[in-house]
Structure 1
Amino acid sequence: MYTEGYMDLGRTFAIRLMQHLVVPTFVLDAERRVLIWNRACERLTGVAATELLGTRHHWQAFYDTPRYCLADTLVLGRTDHLAQLYDSHTLPSDHTLGLSAENWCVMPRAGRRLYLAIDAGPIYSEDGKLVAVVETLRDMTETKLAQMALHSLANRDGLTGLANRRAFDTAIEADCRAATQDGTPLALLLADVDHFKAFNDTYGHQKGDDCLRTVAHTLESQIFRANDLAARYGGEEFAILLPGVDLEGALQVAERLRGALSDQAVPHAGAPGAGVVTMSIGLAAGIPAPDMTPKDLIDIADRALYEAKNSGRNRVVGVSLTPASI
C-alpha cells in the first residue's frame, strides 16, 4: 500500500513538474493521444491543452495540413519518414533511444512561422512496452535566420544580389560533374555589358552600379527554373548555368536575356548605335565529354563571348559542346 501510494504521489508530482517546465513539452500515449500539453507549449503554439488532451490533433498546433510530429514517428516506429518530414534529423542507434530533428513549422494558431529544434524520447514499462513518448521543443528561429543571413553573405554578390563567384564555382563543379556522369546536357552563358567603361566614364561609377543592378535584375527575372543559376562572374560580366539545356534551348534563353535588357532602354550616350545599354553573350551547351572540366566549359563560353563582342556586340554566339570544341 505504501509503495503504491508513493508511486501515485510520484506520478502526480511528475505531471505537475512537466506542466510547469519552461520548456514547451507534450506527451503522447501508445495510441498517439495527447496525455500532457504543458503551459509552455500553450504559450508557444497558442493552442490550449483543453483542445488537445485525449486527441490526436496535436499536429494542428504546428502545421496547416495533417502530418506526423516527431513523437508520432517513435510511437509508430516510422523513422523511415524522417527525411521526408524534417530539414535535419538524427537516427536512433537502437529502439530505446530518442530522436532529434529540426524543422520550419507554420504555427497556424500562433500566426507565425518558427524554426523548432525537437527532441522526442520514449518511455517504456518494466516489461519493455512503450507507454508514452515525450516531445520537447526549442525555438531556434533567430539562430536559423542568422545562419541563413551568413550563408547569403557568403554566397551573394553584395552589389547585385546575384550568386557570387564563390557560389558559381561551387555550382559549376557540381553541374559539370553531374552532366559528365549522367550524359545530360549543360549550358553555360557568359554575358558582358557592352561598352561599360564608356558608361562609367559618361555617367559616373554610382550610375554604373545602378546599371549593373538593372542587368542583374533583368537576368534574374528571366531565369525561371529552380536549378538554374545567375551569378556575377566579375566586374560587368555575368554567368548563367542551365543544367539539362541543350544548344538550341540555350540560344533561346540567351536571346531572351539579350532582348530583355535592350527593352529596358537604359540610356547609354557613350555607346554607338542604339544608345541604350546592351550585352553580348557567349555560350557553350550540349553534352560534355567525359573528361571535360569546368575550366574547359568556361574557356569555350569565353571564346564565344569574345567572338560576339568582336563581331559587333549586342548579339549571341553559341558553341556546341563536342570533343573538338575543347
Structure 2
Amino acid sequence: MTSHPNVQHLEYPQSEQQHGFAIKMMELLVIPTFVLDGNCKVIIWNRACERLTGVSAYEVLGTSDHWRSFYSEARPTLADLVVQGRTADIHKLYTQHGHRNDAGNNLCVENWCDMPRVGRRRYLAVDASPIYGGDGSIVAVVETLRDMTDEKRAQIALEQLATRDGLTSLANRRCFDDTLRAEWQRALRQQQALSLLMVDVDNFKEYNDAHGHLGGDECLQRIAGAVASEMRANDLVARYGGEEFAVILPNQSLKGAAIVAERIRSRVEQLQLPKRKQGRDYVTVSIGAATALPSPASSPSQLVATADTALYRAKHMGRNRISLPDTDTI
C-alpha cells in the first residue's frame, strides 16, 4: 500500500485495504481533524487541519508538539486530556464543555485559541472521541475542530447591544441593575461594604438648547469618558438614564466613595465644556454618594434611594458638588 505523506500508520487488526481506506477518508474530510496515539503523538493531521492552523502535517506527525498550532504557551489539547485520563481537568481549561452522547466518552468544548502560525485568534468548537483497543484501553483519540469565530463575535456583539448604551458605550440600565444585584449578593456573602454614586449633569437642558442635540450627545460622551477614567477594574459605570450616570464601587467605604466622587466632579469641571457657545460658564455635575453593608433585611433599592436622596441634596445646595447621606455637603 502506498504511504500517504500526511499520516503515520498504526498496525490494527484489520486488512491493509480497510486501513488505507479509513485513513484516506480521514485525510479528505473537510472538517479539520487530527488523531493522537496512546502516547499523545500525532498520527494523522489532515489537510483541513493544515488550512485551519497554517501548520503542515510533516511538522507535527510523530511529535507531541501539536499544541503549538493552537496556543502560545504549553497546554494540553482536549485529545491530550482524553489520552491521559485527565478529563476531570476540562473545566479548568474550558468555560464551555459537555458530552455529545449518553455514554459520556465523546467530549465537546469551546474556547479561544491563539493560533500563532496564522497570527489571529480563532474561537474553536472541539470534539474528541476515543478509540479503544481489544483490551478496553485507549489506542487513539480523534479530535475534530470547527471554526466558530464569526458566530462567537456576532454573539458578543448582540450581548453588547443588550448591555451597552449605544451613545456612550457605557453599561446600560439593564446591565447596571443586574450588576448591582450581583455585587450586593457578593458583598453580603463576604461582609464587605458596597458604595454607589449617582452622577447628574447640571442644567443639561440649557446646554442642549444652546448646542443642539448633537452637541448634547457629544457632551454626554465626553462626561462618560471622564467618569470612566476614574474607575478601578472592578467598578462599573453605567448610563442610568438621560443625563444621569451611576457608579458601582464594590468593597469601597463611604470615605473612599467620596474621594472618587470628588475626582469625578473635578475631572468633569476640567473638561471646560461651555454651557453656551460663548462664555466661561462650564458644564458641571452633582453627585450623591451612599454606602451599605448588605444584610438579609436590606436591599439594593435602598442603596439607590439613599444615593438619589444625596444627589437631590447636592442639587438643592447649589450644584457642582458632592453630597453624602445625613452629612453636610462637601
TM-score between both structures, scaled by the size of structure 2: 0.91
From 293, 296, 300, give the equivalent of 2:299: 293
Which of 174, 191, 195 lines up with 1:187 in the alignment?
195
Contact 1:103 1:115 in 2 (8 A): yes
**Structure 1 counterpart of 2:313:** 307
Distance (Å, rounded) in 1 between the aligned partners of 2:208 and 2:137: 75
Distance 1:111 1:103 in 2: 17
Does 2:113 align with 1:105? yes
> Which residue pairs with 2:174 in the alignment?
166
The residue number in structure 2 matching 1:119 is 127
**Deviation (angstroms), 1:176:** 1.3
**C-alpha contact (below 8 Å) 1:193/1:278 kept by paired residues:** yes
Within 5 Å, which residues of 2 pair with 1:1-326?
A: 7-90=15-98, 97-225=105-233, 227-269=234-276, 275-319=281-325
Task: Give the C-alpha shift of residue 267 in structure 1.
Answer: 1.2
Return 76-85 or 34-43, whichever deviates more.
Answer: 76-85
Amino acid at match of 2:288: G
- Once the two structures are TM-superposed, the CA of residue 199 in structure 1 deviates from its matched residue by 0.8
Q: Tell me which residue corresponds to 2:5.
A: none
Shift in alpha-carbon separation, 1:79–1:116, aligned structure 2, 3 A? same
Distance in 2 (CA, whole Å) between partners of 1:252 and 1:246 is 10
1:95 and 1:33 map into 2 onto residues whose CA distance is 26
The answer on whether the counterparts of 1:281 and 1:316 sit within 8 Å (CA) in structure 2 is yes
After TM superposition, give the deviation of residue 180 of structure 1 in Å.
2.3
Distance in 2 of aligned mates of 1:152 and 1:95 = 37
Query: Match for 2:49: what amino acid?
Result: C
SS at match of 2:309: helix
> Could you give the per-residue CA deviations for residues 182-225 of structure 1, whole angstroms, max 9, x where no partner exists?
21110111000011011112221111111111111111222131
The structure that is helix-richer by fraction is 1
What do residues 280-314 of structure 1 show as CA deviations (whole Å, max 9, x unaligned)?
A: 11011142333221211110000000111111111
| Contact 1:181 1:290 (8 Å CA) reproduced | no
Question: In the alignment, which residue of structure 2 is the partner of 1:323?
Answer: none
- Give distance in 1, aligned partners of 2:14 and 2:261: 78
| Contact persistence 2:170–2:224 (CA under 8 A) | yes
2:211–2:277 Cα contact (<8 Å) kept: no
Cα distance 1:305–1:96, how it changes in 2: closer, same or farther (>3 A)?
closer
Secondary structure at the aligned position of 1:44 is classed as helix
Q: TM-score scaled by structure 1?
A: 0.92
Shift of 1:177: 1.9
Q: Does the C-alpha gap of structure 1 residues 93 and 5 become closer, same or farther in structure 2, counting only changes over 3 Å?
A: closer
Task: In structure 2, give the amino acid aligned to 1:259.
Answer: S
* Cα offset, 1:161, TM superposition: 0.8
Change (3 A) 1:72 1:95: farther
Q: Is the 8 A contact 2:99 2:105 kept in 1?
A: no
Q: 1:5 and 1:174 mapped to 2: Cα distance?
A: 58
AA aligned opposite 1:235: G
SS in 2 for 1:66: coil
Write the distance in 1 (CA, Å) between the matches of 2:101 and 2:19: 29
